[in-house]
Chain A
């Protein structure tokens, strides 16, 4: 019985016809693939991309050097080095974020008590050198400025 069925299918090219029908149908429906980078998708709110640093009301980088982002980061991407300033205040000597380690979990943003470190929707992070993936505080502030128009942002 099976043999007979197969014989007829073969001589009438049934399977080929079925395949061609699908091909023709798809040819006539609109494409869902976006032609990146010609067409870019608008990020959805809350998407986690490149980090940025907020400025405080005085225009300085808002980080107070508590090291909580560093402590919470699961991939040890952040290093904060602090010392005492001339007025006995806490000074952040350096804030470094190694994007090559980052897994974009966003824990650092949750941990920050002053919302100094934030995430932008920026996801195009390809670069030609490892150094470019290494974000210092100044670079993070710059990213922030680009996204927030250089203005201090209220918490």
Chain B
């Protein structure tokens, strides 16, 4: 794009054609105050605070956020006249805006407050009409204080342009104009809180943070959300070492789970002490007792039945460091390869062999986006948001496969109202022979014409669907896959080798790799591959597995049918943050620190290495998972001596080639995996266990395993039906 020259406050700069005056001012380093403008949104021009002077125009003052700059324009961002004009804008806003800053939760980060402070207003020349409407407490999670609203329309636009929900709208006219939902009913939306985040004043606030602290009391700790594979950056905002609220780490999107679901870790039922079973009852005990019992029992079972009768189920929620130490403990100390995660049952076939996710923020670089899972916005909310942004901001085409109706229907270019498998068959047919329904033909034509295509791969795939997707992709010039991944560190636990037949870094277990790892770890390793999760469960029923160590998973909670099976175990250890259904069956229960209480790294679905940072002290006597396992290993004669998670990460970097020089925030390249393009299948299938979808909330969007059920805020979300 050609550039043009704009002079801002005497400074000449080059900006691309089509830039607004505001963009030119920002590029020149001149600050122009704004209230209704946000880079995430289309220009709107509602508040008129961003006035600037443009030389040679008949209208002296011009709103800079909506006016395009032109070549050789001369702009002044400040002058006595401008200050007077902006003051007047503020004075007019303050006719209605109440002066309850001392008790408003927005104070300290309120744009209006800051501007009034900056421009220094005296007494108003108007009759004030403050607090003309009472606050609205009807909705879950979000409170609306209409009197404080300055009608900037940011909430309306973000909910529509970014979320495609469109919950807010302006109603009424003139001085009575206000933002409201349809018929002023309570909110019935995604409860992402983006509207609260973007509101420049305290008109929208959250119930969770209400009157809890003042914004200037808070200290931020950047970390990563633990509720889905997107791994959004969060900032845990603490006061005196306790989280008060959670915001985005870099003004990124957060869904309701990421923003409000963290309070699960403050739940009163958190495990705070180790417990062991005495006469059939779980009673509190000391760490030393618990760890000794585990070490002794595992040793006895190993010598009596052999190490192959001991297994471990890892977690897809714990950090890479935890997972790495977990599998290393089982392999080098217990000497078994019976290591797995149950989450592999809920994974698309071909993940990490055929399907390597593209980067989410590059979604909009694809001309056509093909969504094969209608639940994309519910399973991986950020993926859904990136799709909406690509369509609304970059005019990308969206082909949606959806046999029902949801928000994506509103923005889709073509909808294929059928099941995924049918849609794929039709598309392949239409692409090769040109036959098929009108929609299929249109979609096929769009796919054919596109330079590059993004395909959203469903969270679960049948073999047939898998083949069809590969057929389809074979007919297109350039395809980026975006597989859906439910749990936060699923990718990480695969990378760390929490699998029975692969070492960390996807090294298939065979003679050479075993020799290599025996050298790296200086240990004797089991010679055969282990049982996978499904086989382990079967082995328990057949008496072939005597002991199971579960770190951070709740099989009995996700599938009540497993309860009876787990009871057959001679020895069950469960390490978790709650006394889950599974933990209730255990012989020893160990309290683990939650992800807000420990440091480490996650690897999200884009294979991005992310830093998890500790924001709070572990509750009670709970401890990070890796520390617990290291202590058991020590008691069993192992030689783990990690001082901190950094030591573990250093070892991971030396063992897993993909992590060797991987910077924080970077994604590892698919070529680094020995399985790229191979026929290996890292997903598991079973016709008996974990059959049903566990939806722990009214909507898939609000559910994410068992932890989120302990979130008080998420629990308040209800659906409203209006009777008309």
Contact = CB atoms under 8 A, between A and B. Distances in A.
A84 interface: yes
Nearest to B214: A67
A65 B103 contact: yes
27 contacts: A64-B102, A64-B103, A65-B103, A65-B211, A66-B102, A66-B103, A66-B107, A66-B214, A67-B213, A67-B217, A68-B102, A71-B214, A71-B216, A71-B217, A82-B211, A82-B212, A82-B213, A83-B211, A83-B212, A84-B207, A84-B210, A84-B211, A88-B135, A90-B103, A90-B211, A113-B102, A114-B102
A67 B214 CA distance: 7
Interface in B169-226: 207, 210-214, 216-217
Most buried by A among B207, B211, B216: B211
A111 B103 CA distance: 14
Contacts of A91: 211
Interface in B126-149: 135, 137
Given A68-B102, A82-B211, A88-B137, 12 more contacts: A65-B211, A66-B107, A70-B217, A71-B214, A82-B213, A83-B211, A84-B207, A84-B210, A84-B211, A88-B135, A90-B103, A113-B102
Interface string A32-71: 0000000000000000000000000000000011111011
Give the bracket for the number of chain A residues in contact with chain B: 10 to 19
Contacts of A84: 207, 210-211
A90 to B, nearest CB: 5
Nearest to B135: A88
Nearest to B217: A67
A78 B570 CA distance: 56
A90 B210 CA distance: 9
Nearest to A81: B213
Contacts of A90: 103, 211
Contacts of A88: 135, 137
A57 to B, nearest CB: 17
A82 to B, nearest CB: 5
Contacts of B135: 88
3 nearest A-B residue pairs (beta carbon)? A66-B102, A67-B214, A90-B211
A10 B58 CA distance: 98
Contacts of B216: 67, 71
A30 B255 CA distance: 80
Nearest to A114: B102
Most buried by B among A67, A83, A91: A67
A64 B103 CA distance: 7
Contacts of A71: 214, 216-217
A91 B135 CA distance: 17
Contacts of B212: 82-83
A6 B102 CA distance: 76
A87 to B, nearest CB: 10
A142 to B, nearest CB: 24
Contacts of A66: 102-103, 107, 214
A24 to B, nearest CB: 64
Contacts of A68: 102
Interface in B611-635: none
A53 to B, nearest CB: 16
Contacts of B137: 88
B216 to A, nearest CB: 6
A24 B217 CA distance: 63
A64 B137 CA distance: 21
Nearest to B102: A66
Contacts of A82: 211-213
B592 to A, nearest CB: 29
B218 to A, nearest CB: 12
B143 to A, nearest CB: 8
A71 B214 CA distance: 9
A28 B519 CA distance: 99
Contacts of A67: 213-214, 216-217
A153 to B, nearest CB: 19
B541 to A, nearest CB: 51
A113 B211 CA distance: 17
Interface string A116-146: 0000000000000000000000000000000
A66 B213 CA distance: 9
A86 B216 CA distance: 25
